[in-house]
Chain A
């Protein structure tokens, strides 16, 4: 089955530690995205990548980093510089082009203690 996988579903970390969230897709999509969801705020774009080895900052990139070494994979690192990292993180992918919808993974809930 084609789709997007994110692991783990729940993640706990101590304050000051970096943590990497996994996102893999087998839809053969060129574009991949990371969003952050907070209660009552909708989703906000962190980073996106339209092609391998290239990525761009979204609206709230501070305190996050990404890499895109393979078409299928777009891991997100939440660094200790992110002031409020506890949130639900969603990865998405799509074909390039304005009319193409994004497909979302099941999400990872990160809690920083």
Chain B
């Protein structure tokens, strides 16, 4: 079945540090991939997406590349800010290859940026 694995948190960094949050997936076919961000007590906001192999999604300084050969979609940012502190979720849309709709999520990575 479909699954998403992302690195456990919390991840604590200093402001202006380089960020990588690893995400790998298992799926039938070639699903669309997403990164969502959740601030405390709120719903999820889409951060970026990629719909086919070698696509790079980017937004607000974050980027991730759809790597079919390694089934990965790692999230990166060159210089993090305190305001980036949140929980980040990697997800895949599981319509590809048929079957149920909906997103399959990783467990989330809590990112803490210290000034």
Q: Which of B36, B100, B101 has the most CB of A within 10 A?
A: B101
Residue from the list B43, B46, B102 in contact with A106, Cβ < 8 A: B43
Interface residues on B, range: 20 to 34
Shortest C-beta distance, B108 to chain A (Å), equals 5
Chain A residues within an 8 Å CB radius of B101: 31, 33, 48, 50, 56
Contact (A58, B102) CB under 8 Å given A106-B42, A107-B43: yes
Residue from the list B31, B51, B102 in contact with A33, Cβ < 8 A: B102
User: Once the chains bind, are A90 and B96 in contact (CB under 8 Å)?
Assistant: no
A:74-109 near B, CB below 8 Å: 90, 92, 97-107
A2 at the interface (CB under 8 A from B): no
A45 at the interface (CB under 8 A from B): yes
In the complex, the chain A residue whose C-beta lies closest to that of B46 is A101
B77 at the interface (CB under 8 A from A): no
Bound together, the chains give a CA A28 to CA B52 distance in angstroms of: 26
Bound together, the chains give a CA A101 to CA B51 distance in angstroms of: 10
Q: Which of A35, A41, A50, A102 has the most CB of B within 10 A?
A: A102
Number of residues of chain A lying within 8 A (CB) of chain B = 28
B:32-48 near A, CB below 8 Å: 32, 34, 36, 41-46
Bound together, the chains give a CA A99 to CA B43 distance in angstroms of: 21
Shortest C-beta distance, B71 to chain A (Å), equals 17
User: Once the chains bind, are A48 and B102 in contact (CB under 8 Å)?
Assistant: yes
Chain B residues within an 8 Å CB radius of A31: 101
B→A interface (CB under 8 Å): 31-32, 34, 36, 41-46, 49, 51, 89, 93, 95-96, 100-108
Given contacts A6-B43, A101-B46, A104-B45, 11 further A-B contacts (CB under 8 A): A43-B44, A43-B105, A44-B105, A48-B100, A56-B100, A99-B51, A99-B93, A100-B93, A101-B32, A101-B34, A107-B41
A-B contact pairs, 10 of them (CB 8 A): A6-B43, A35-B103, A43-B44, A45-B104, A48-B101, A56-B101, A90-B43, A99-B49, A105-B43, A107-B43
